[in-house]
Structure formats: structure tokens, C-alpha cells
Chain A
């Protein structure tokens, strides 16, 4: 799955879960600092991403200050390992 496809999926999830404007979602944006998605909202984002992409994401992969790009990489990593 390409970065663009995953980013498109995450953008839809962020809009649904956090009301994030799709135009704001870029790879270098930090969830907490740029998108106002705190650690609790992140739990919802991760669960929704797991369902959408059929993967299991370790919460240890996502530290404070994680970016959208970090989550995309994490999903790609799991998909590649399958």
C-alpha cells in the first residue's frame, strides 16, 4: 500500500474521530502539537486505523510528538512484514 493511500485513509479517520480539517493533515504534522489530537484521541485513531488497514499497531511505536508520517511508516512496516 502506498504512502498516499495510507495517508488518505488516516485523513478520513482524523476527520471522523477528531474533526480535523483534511487540508491540515500532512506527513510532517505532529498529532499533539499541530493537529490537537491528544494521547486519548490517538487511541481512537489507532484503533480505527487497525480496523481500516487490517493491522495491529504497537502503541510503543507512537511517542509524544509523533507525526502523521510516523504512523504511516508504522502501518507500512507492519504491512511489509506480513
Chain B
């Protein structure tokens, strides 16, 4: 099916929801980003004395009862609670109702890198300490990575395709991109798409420490995540969720939906190089950015803002900068490039979804959020938006996500023009 013969269905974003370490809804999250507020603190809910990294960006003061009945939140992992809460906000914002006619056309795609970390740890400890009888009847469902998608589908009666794509740190962007295809291909008219993770358990922190991936700046949490700064020493594990309501554009217009932005491009690739390290020239990252631009039928010079993957690891930030320079040429010296992970930490599967939501706010407000703690930039010719937000007219925004196992995913959003 070529584009000349079948103009493809356009996909718009009509709602968004965020649960993050710096805000428990999209508005609070955006306000924190513009204020340059860090969500990174010392971990206090489990023993960290033997762990090289003792800091993280965790969701604070979250009350699941506000979003779902007790019998639902008791049976699911925090990562799924966050996803469901973000979906509730997104659906309310979209002012959409899932009636019987629409239900079979509504999909759910919630990506996650590590999924229900807490429940998985509890099962292992419970079996060891109390035996099989201690394992609850919902564990089998709740300990799987697709559980967030399943609970969201139950909540809203969404009866189209559903599931969880898992591409490590790129999962949220992959979910949004694959969900966009469902709508473009005519499989769905609406998809609740996003990502969620709560990978801040002893086992998550211990294993990421062993991978030499995490910052060890335990004595200075708010300055620990410093993407593109030469003193960076690793990423910060974080929790959260982001969910978007993606909707076929004509349908959204017909019902007078609040259209936040258009989702115009998606590109994915794989480094096929190393389990944790990125390809030295960022070949996979470049390929994904180019694929997303081609998909959007947009030239790199038209991009007004790049929400970088920007993890604060030595390798990612150097190679991502090189890759952006390769793809954007001279435009790389003009386009603002920032990493909101400097404030949120790395929400793994939620990162791409939450960052797409940051990008759509940048389009809406004409302001791009800063990279905090970028005192001594990796590349002195690039505008990493250090310390404070900057005003820029943003028509087109690119959101990058590059994961372990070499998974790369890039999404492009554009201001809505009917």
C-alpha cells in the first residue's frame, strides 16, 4: 500500500496523564519541568547501605485510592497503579466515552522495561520465607509485564488489541509508535498508549549498579543527574507512568475533542552491538531518527525541539550528541536539545511516554524545558538548554529513546493543523 494510493489516517493526541517523581498529573509535572525541579532523593523505603547507589527519583505521596477501587490496587504492582492512574487522567482530559460501538475499536498499549518489580521481589521472598500458600491468587496475572494494559482495558472496557511492548528504556516510545500504527492501519480508532515502570527495588538498583550504569553521587542527589555535563557519572533510576489518548484525527474533530498535537512520525531500530553499551557511532540512533523523519515526511531542519534520551551516562550523552549532529547537520547547532531526565531521573519504560508529553507541552506553550545540572557541556556548540527553560516557537518536536539491548525508538509530534 503506497502513500499515493491510500492517504494514511492521521493520528492526534487528545489526552495525556502523568505520574512522576516531580508531579502527580500532567500540569504539575510540566510546572516542575519549567521550574527546573529535581525529583531525586535518597531512597528511604528499603535497605540501601550495601548498595553503591542509594538515590533515586521515586513517586511520592501517590494515593491509589483516588484512581481505583481498593480491590484493584491491592492486586496490582505499583507500576500498574501508576499506569492506570495516568490513563484515568488522560481519558478525563480527552473527554471521551467508550460506548459499545467504540469499544471494539479501542486499543491499549502500555510499554514497560521491567514491569512489576515489587511483586516479583515479593514472590521470591514470600516463597523463601513462608512457602507457596503465601502467594496470592492474583500474583500470576499481576506479576506479568502486560498487567498494566490489562487493568486499563478492564477499567475502560477497551476491547480492541492490547498488550505491552518491552524495549527496555525505549518501551514508552515504542508503545506510542506501535499504537500510532494501529490507528493508521485502521485496526483501532483510539488507543490508550504509554509506558510505566517502578524499577526502584533492591534487585533493580543492585543489578543496574553492577551494570555500572547508575550515578553514585549519593551525597548530592539533586545534582546527581547531569545529562550532557562532563562530570556526569551515570543515570538515576526513577518510577512513573505516562499515558496518551491517541485518536484518529477526523473522529477527534467530529466530536470536538481537545486536540493537543499530532503524532506524525515514528522510527525504530536496533544497534545489534552490545547488551548495554550503545553503538560507538550511534548508528542505530541515527537510523531511528532518520526513519522517524522519513515517516513524518519532515526534513531535519524543520525540527524545533529535541527531547533527548539524555540519560547522564558517559556513553549515551556523548554518542547521542554525535548522532544528532550527523542527522541534523548545521541545524544541530540551532535546535534546542534538552534532557528532562535531569529532573525526573530515568523512568525506564515510562520515560518515552512522559517525554512525549513534555514535548507536546513545549509545542502548546512555546517553551522548552531545561537540562538542569549541565554546567560544563559535552559539546559547547550545542544548545542543551542549560539550567532554565527557554522560549522557542515549537511546531515540530522529536522525542528520542535509546534502550539497553540496543533498542532505539523516536517519535515526532507536530502542532495540530487540520
Contact = CB atoms under 8 A, between A and B. Distances in A.
A17 B133 contact: no
Most buried by A among B71, B74, B138: B71
B71 A43 contact: no
Which label, helix, strand, loop or mixed, suits the secondary structure of the B interface? loop
Interface residues of B, number: 8
Contacts of B71: 17-19, 41
A43 B139 CA distance: 12
Contacts of B137: 40-41, 43-44
Interface of B: 69-71, 74, 133, 136-138
Given A18-B70, A19-B69, 15 more contacts: A17-B71, A17-B74, A18-B71, A19-B70, A19-B71, A19-B74, A40-B137, A40-B138, A41-B71, A41-B137, A43-B136, A43-B137, A44-B136, A44-B137, A47-B133
Nearest to B136: A44
> Interface extent on A, as a size class?
under 10
Give the interface SS of chain A, mostly helix, strand, loop or mixed: helix
15 contacts: A17-B71, A17-B74, A18-B70, A18-B71, A19-B69, A19-B70, A19-B71, A19-B74, A40-B137, A40-B138, A41-B71, A43-B136, A44-B136, A44-B137, A47-B133
B136 to A, nearest CB: 6
Interface string A17-29: 1110000000000
Interface in A58-76: none
Interface in A5-58: 17-19, 40-41, 43-44, 47
A44 B136 CA distance: 6
Nearest to B69: A19
A19 to B, nearest CB: 3
